[in-house]
Amino acid sequence: MALTSKGEKVLRAMKKYYKDDEKAESIFYAMKKKGKLSGTEEINNELGKWLPSHERPKSKGKKKDGY
């Protein structure tokens, strides 16, 4: 998935800090997977259904209960 501007900025800073692109990317994606980074990847609303509930886009419709 494409990175947001926040994701690009964080990854760029990590590459500068670790001075090894592969190591920086592996740490970046590990932190993303663990949930320590959020808002770093763009989410396609159609493909967002597989995401964990805390990463899904918020719906703007009525609740299923009808309240």
Banded model confidence at residue 61, pLDDT cuts 50, 70, 90: low
Interval 35-55 mean pLDDT: 69
Q: Does some domain include residue 18?
A: yes
pLDDT above 70 covers a percentage of the chain that reads 61
Mean pLDDT rounded to a whole number for the chain: 78
**How many domains are there within the chain?**
1
Banded model confidence at residue 19, pLDDT cuts 50, 70, 90: very high
Q: Does some domain include residue 59?
A: no
Per-residue confidence (pLDDT) for residue 14, from 0 to 100: 95
Distances (CA, A) of 37 to 33, 63, 64, 65, 67: 8, 28, 30, 32, 33
Per-residue confidence (pLDDT) for residue 56, from 0 to 100: 62
Q: Does some domain include residue 30?
A: yes
For Cα atoms 32, 43, 52, give the angle at the middle one, nearest 5 degrees: 60
Q: Does some domain include residue 52?
A: no
Residue 1 domain boundaries = 1-39
Q: Does some domain include residue 66?
A: no
Q: pTM for the complete prediction?
A: 0.60
Q: Does some domain include residue 60?
A: no
